[in-house]
Amino acid sequence: MRDIEVRSGALENLDVDLIAVSAPGALAGPLAILDGWLGGVIDRCMEQGVYRGKADETSFFPSPPGHPHVLLVGVGEGAGTADDESPTASQMRAVAGVAVRFCREHRLSSLALLLPEAAGRAESVQAAAEGLMLGDFSYDALRAEKTRFGRTAPSLALIWSEEAAAGAEAAASTGRTIADAQNFARDLVSRPGNVATPVRLAEEAEALGERGIAVQAWSAEKLREEGFGALLAVSKGSAEPPRFIILEHRGEGGSPIVLVGKGITFDSGGISLKPSKGMEEMKYDMAGAAAVLGAIRALSDLGTSRRIVVLIPTAENLPSGNAVKPGDVIRGVSGRSIEIVNTDAEGRLVLSDALSYATRLGPSAIVDVATLTGGCVVALGRHAAGLMSNDDELARALEEASIRSGERVWRLPLWPEYGKQLESDIADIKNSGGREASPITAGYFLKEFVENVPWAHLDIAGTAWADEARAHQPKGATGAGVRLLVEWVRGAR
For the chain, the 3-state helix, strand and coil shares in percent, each to the nearest 5, are 40, 20, 40
Q: Are strands 385-389 and 329-331 parallel, antiparallel or unpaired?
A: unpaired
Closest contact distance (angstroms) between CB of 267 and Mn ion is: 4
Of 318-347, which residues contact Mn ion (CB under 5 A)? 344, 346
Q: Answer with the entry of ligand BES, Mn ion, Zn ion, none that 138 interacts with (C-beta below 5 to 8 A by kind).
A: none
List the catalytic residue out of 2, 274, 325, 408. 274
Tell me which residue of 313, 303, 304, 292 sits closest to 479, measured CA to CA: 292
390, 432, 463, 473: which one contacts ligand BES (CB under 6 A)? 432
What is residue 385's three-state secondary structure?
strand
Report helix angle 482-491 to 392-405, nearest 10. Answer: 120
Assign residue 184 a region (left: φ > 0; alpha: ψ between -120 and 50; beta: otherwise).
Answer: alpha
DSSP H or E segment with residue 62: none
The yes or no reply on residue 368 touching Zn ion (CB under 5 A) is no
Stretch that binds Zn ion, among 54-62, 72-80, 218-226, 282-290 (CB under 5 A): 282-290
For residue 22, how many C-alpha atoms fall within 13 Å in the half-sphere facing its CB? 35
Stretch that binds ligand BES, among 159-167, 175-183, 337-345, 396-404 (CB under 6 A): 337-345
74, 237, 347, 433: which one contacts Zn ion (CB under 5 A)? 347
17, 180, 316, 346: which one contacts ligand BES (CB under 6 A)? 346
Stretch that binds ligand BES, among 99-107, 208-216, 342-350, 443-451 (CB under 6 A): 342-350
Handedness of CA 139, 465, 448, 451 (dihedral sign): positive
Q: Answer with the entry of ligand BES, Zn ion, Mn ion, none that 204 interacts with (C-beta below 5 to 8 A by kind).
A: none
Query: Which phi and psi (to 5°) does residue 79 adopt?
Result: -60, -35
Nearer to ligand BES, 12 or 423 (CB): 423
Q: Answer with the entry of ligand BES, Zn ion, Mn ion, none that 136 interacts with (C-beta below 5 to 8 A by kind).
A: none
Is 148 in the active site? no
The footprint of ligand BES on this chain (CB under 6 A) covers a number of residues equal to 16
| Amino acid at the residue 355 | L
Closest contact distance (angstroms) between CB of 346 and Zn ion is: 6
Is 348 in the active site? yes
Closest contact distance (angstroms) between CB of 371 and ligand BES is: 4
Closest contact distance (angstroms) between CB of 278 and Mn ion is: 13
* DSSP letters spanning 346-365: -HHHHHHHHHHHHHTT--SE
List the catalytic residue out of 306, 348, 430, 447. 348
DSSP H or E segment with residue 76: none
**If 0-12 CB within 10 Å is exposed, 13-18 middle and 19+ buried, where does residue 163 land?**
exposed
Report the alpha-carbon distance of residue 86 to residue 115 in Å, rounded: 9
Convert residues 228-267 into a mask of x (bound to Zn ion by CB under 5 A) and - (unbound). ------------------------------------x--x
Stretch that binds ligand BES, among 30-38, 40-48, 343-351, 415-423 (CB under 6 A): 343-351
Instruction: Tell me which DSSP letter residue 282 carries.
Output: G
Long-range (24+ apart) CB contacts under 8 A made by 55-59 are: 55/91, 55/94, 55/471, 56/94, 56/98, 56/470, 56/471, 58/98, 58/102
DSSP H or E segment with residue 242: none
The yes or no reply on residue 374 touching ligand BES (CB under 6 A) is yes
Closest contact distance (angstroms) between CB of 358 and Mn ion is: 21
* DSSP letters spanning 4-48: EEEEES-GGG---SEEEEE-SSS-HHHHHHHHHHTTTHHHHHHHT
Closest contact distance (angstroms) between CB of 59 and Mn ion is: 45
Closest contact distance (angstroms) between CB of 316 and Zn ion is: 11
Nearer to ligand BES, 120 or 462 (CB): 462
Report the alpha-carbon distance of residue 296 to residue 248 in Å, rounded: 8
Residue 251 burial (CB count, 10 A): 17
Stretch that binds Mn ion, among 266-274, 327-335, 419-427, 445-453 (CB under 5 A): 266-274
Q: Answer with the entry of Zn ion, Mn ion, ligand BES, none that 374 interacts with (C-beta below 5 to 8 A by kind).
A: ligand BES
100, 201, 461, 482: which one contacts ligand BES (CB under 6 A)? 461
Tell me which residue of 259, 358, 256, 258 sits closest to 307, measured CA to CA: 256
Stretch that binds ligand BES, among 12-20, 116-124, 368-376, 380-388 (CB under 6 A): 368-376
What is the contact surface with Mn ion in residues (CB under 5 A)? 267, 344, 346
Judged by the rule CB under 6 A, the positions of this chain that interact with ligand BES are 267, 285, 342, 344-347, 371-375, 377, 432, 438, 461
As annotated, the active-site residues are 274, 348
